[in-house]
Chains A and B, each alone.
Chain A
Amino acid sequence: MNVLGAVVAKDLKLAWRNRSGWLSAAAFSTIAVLTYSFAFDLATGDVRPLLPGVIWTTFLFAGVFAAGQSFQDEVDDGTFDALMFSPVGATSVFAGKLVANLIALLIIEFSQLILATILFDVALLTPELLGIVLIGTIGYVSLTTLLATMGGHVRGRSVLLPVLSLPLLIPLLIGAVRATGASLGLEAGTGPWMLLLMVFAVWATLAAVLLFPTAAEQ
């Protein structure tokens, strides 16, 4: 536990020190939400049917911007090797990256939900919607962290990550968009979509934990 805590603390501190990737993601998502708010006619129409798409496309691309950055820095500096031959298990290395990426992305997402609440005049900071965002983000970050590891030594990896991850994320996106819509009262009950989201999050996390040691050695 002490080792896991050390790895997580290290990843968070490095994410803060080298925050250009996350700042780009925050800037991108702010511009996206602002642009959407100008594009929709807020005075005459109900914008709620559009919000699930607005929210999740913004989150998705914000994450793709920055998810691979921390792993890439470790590969470039050789510190990933230093972790792999140390007594730190591969699972702890993965957990450190996962938690740091998760916290950074959740901060961006929360700030965008506040911004969207103000701009679209729709209550988005409900416990139900925050739960959907949390579960969806766990599944999303697990998968993108694993894929960033697998593509760490490949040329053109910045292109490879979105190309590899987006098709795999389709079930998560469907579940997240539909659950968000249901939480905004656009359809009845979030239950089935929440279940899909949770199954995806558990599957993605388990797959990532199991495959990470192999991906790391490659």
Chain B
Amino acid sequence: MTDAGTAIAIDARGLTRQYAGVTVVRGVDLALPAGSKTALLGSNGAGKTTLLKMLSTLLTPTSGSFSVNGHRAPSAEVARSIGVLGHSPMLYEDFTPLENLQFFARIYGVQDAEPRIRDLLDQVGLWRRRNERTVILSRGYHQRLALCRALIHRPAVLIADEPETGLDPEGIELLDEMALAAPGLTVIAATHRIDHIDAWATGIVRLDRGRVIEDTSSVGLAAPEGAPA
């Protein structure tokens, strides 16, 4: 719980990661309140992607630990609680959008997957193209489909690394509406789009050479300007 009585969604203690003896992320502590939207800022090489990879359980921390909604990572509960949106869309290019979402729905054990898939594809404007091979879709549509993949299992936490990559203004609006500013969803997203964070972020964490130098993630949870009600 935070001082204001809000539950903590991501609780990280002393996360550190080294590559070949070089410390890329050092002693990061985070306490992100449930429903908060945190913009992860920092220059290239600050350690944003490495930190996000640890939080998404893709990388094991050299030291330190974290939990998601009270479940210590890594675990199946944590895997079901998080959705990940990365640089790469992480989609099967030889599958159709429908097949991609059917596969991810199945491995996440989504009940009543078909209406959920239709709803997501409708929202991102891909229902009409659901049976085309993913490889022929544009970069923007890849990212929209990746958004559907990340949200298919209704995660409590979204971990995103430069999620605006490849999206047109309409796509960025969809991203805000469905994910970054979605009510109830806890978000931590690395971004270089400083002009865009006012639209969704409730706080920031700034990294410099692997250390946290500014953290306002748990300051307040007032609805961001322009966020949907």
Contact = CB atoms under 8 A, between A and B. Distances in A.
Interface stretch (A24-32, A76-84, A144-152): A76-84
Contacts, number: 64
B14 to A, nearest CB: 20
B82 A85 contact: yes
Counting chain A CB atoms within 10 Å of each CB, the highest count among B89, B92, B149 belongs to B92
Contact of A18 (B79, B84, B94): B94
Interface in A3-18: 3, 6-7, 10, 13-14, 17-18
A18 B58 CA distance: 27
A85 B157 CA distance: 13
Nearest to B77: A87
A87 B59 contact: no
A14 B100 CA distance: 11
Interface string A54-97: 00000000000000000000000111011111111000000000
A82 B82 contact: no
Interface stretch (B104-112, B168-176, B180-188): B104-112
A81 B57 CA distance: 10
B211 interface: no
A100 to B, nearest CB: 13
A78 B94 contact: no
Given A14-B95, A85-B79, A86-B79, A77 B90 contact: yes
Nearest to B83: A85
B79 A17 contact: no
A2 interface: yes
Contact of B94 (A6, A14, A88): A14
A79 B94 CA distance: 12
B154 interface: no
B90 A86 contact: no
A2 B107 CA distance: 8
Interface residues of A, number: 21
A10 to B, nearest CB: 5
A82 B104 contact: yes
A15 B33 CA distance: 43
A60 to B, nearest CB: 27
Interface in A186-218: 217
B91 A6 contact: no
A77 B90 CA distance: 6
Given A6-B103, A7-B107, A78-B86, A84 B94 contact: no
B88 interface: yes
A29 B79 CA distance: 42
A78 B89 contact: yes
Counting chain B CB atoms within 10 Å of each CB, the highest count among A79, A81, A83 belongs to A79
B107 A79 contact: no
Interface in B55-101: 56-60, 76, 79-80, 82, 84, 86, 88-95, 99
Contact of A17 (B84, B86, B94): B94
A24 B99 CA distance: 26
Counting chain B CB atoms within 10 Å of each CB, the highest count among A2, A3, A7, A85 belongs to A85
A78 B108 contact: no
Contact of B92 (A2, A79, A85, A86): A79
Contacts of A17: 94-95
A82 B84 contact: yes
Closest 3 CB pairs of A and B: A78-B88, A82-B90, A78-B90
Given A77-B93, A81-B84, A88-B107, 16 more contacts: A2-B106, A3-B109, A6-B103, A6-B106, A10-B92, A14-B92, A79-B90, A79-B92, A81-B90, A84-B58, A85-B57, A85-B58, A85-B84, A217-B58, A217-B59, A217-B60
16 contacts: A6-B103, A6-B107, A13-B95, A14-B94, A77-B92, A78-B89, A78-B91, A79-B91, A81-B84, A82-B84, A82-B104, A82-B149, A85-B79, A86-B104, A86-B107, A86-B108
